[in-house]
Structure 1
Amino acid sequence: MTMTSEDVIAILGPVDETLIADVLATGANQTELAEAFAWVSSDEALMSERRPLPTGRIALLIDLLVSDDEELD
């Protein structure tokens, strides 16, 4: 299922249009975005669960989210 701008905002909260466009361009779905957001928000918790490091679209989404977060700092 194709993700919409509203889906991105529902998962990430209010973000700028550029980030929304970048996320949508990855072709990721809501589950992948939610997992990427979880990694960005609490990677230590996921590591302690012994979850494998993300790859593919999830890793790409993490890069986008971290990059956007660094710009805000």
Structure 2
Amino acid sequence: MRRLSRDDVTKAIPGADDVTIAEVIGTGATVDELAEAQAWLANDEPMINDLRPLAQGRVREIVDILSELEEDGEADADAGPAPNPG
């Protein structure tokens, strides 16, 4: 199984910053594990309904990293535009 490269992560997570990319690669995950983590984020209810066990190990680590990334993005969007100092 092939481990993730920077290119793999940037293709799968457009707009990810360098820290997030390094965190995802640092899990030691494979391309398949990244895809599984993204599936959990997009479709957790159907996966649970299919009686799949909850994400574990490296997949769980990626789910946590990407969940935090989504939360940060939502917080930035909620803040609205910066006030114009001029």
Q: Which amino acid aligns with 1:62?
A: V
Residue segments in structure 1 that go unaligned for 5+ positions in a row? none
Q: Give the superposed CA RMSD.
A: 1.1
The CA distance in 1 between the partners of 2:32 and 2:45, in whole Å, is: 20
1:69 is aligned to 70
1:33 is aligned to 34
Normalising by the residue count of structure 2, what TM-score does the alignment of the two structures yield? 0.77
Structure with max Cα Rg: 2
Normalising by the residue count of structure 1, what TM-score does the alignment of the two structures yield? 0.90
Alpha-carbon shift at residue 13 of structure 1 (Å): 2.8
1:59 is aligned to 60
The CA distance in 2 between the partners of 1:70 and 1:14, in whole Å, is: 14
Residue segments in structure 2 that go unaligned for 5+ positions in a row? 75-86
Q: Percent identity?
A: 36
Alpha-carbon shift at residue 50 of structure 1 (Å): 1.2
The CA distance in 1 between the partners of 2:15 and 2:42, in whole Å, is: 15
The CA distance in 1 between the partners of 2:14 and 2:26, in whole Å, is: 18
Aligned length: 73
Q: Return structure 1 stretches of 4+ with deviation > 4 angstroms.
A: none
More helix by share: 1
- CA displacement, residues 31-60 of structure 1 (integer Å, 9 cap, x when unaligned): 001000110111112111111111111111
Q: Which has the higher contact order (CA 8 A, sep 6+)?
A: 1
1:8 is aligned to 9
Given the alignment of the two structures, is residue 46 of structure 1 paired with residue 47 of structure 2, yes or no? Answer: yes
Given the alignment of the two structures, is residue 23 of structure 1 paired with residue 59 of structure 2, yes or no? Answer: no
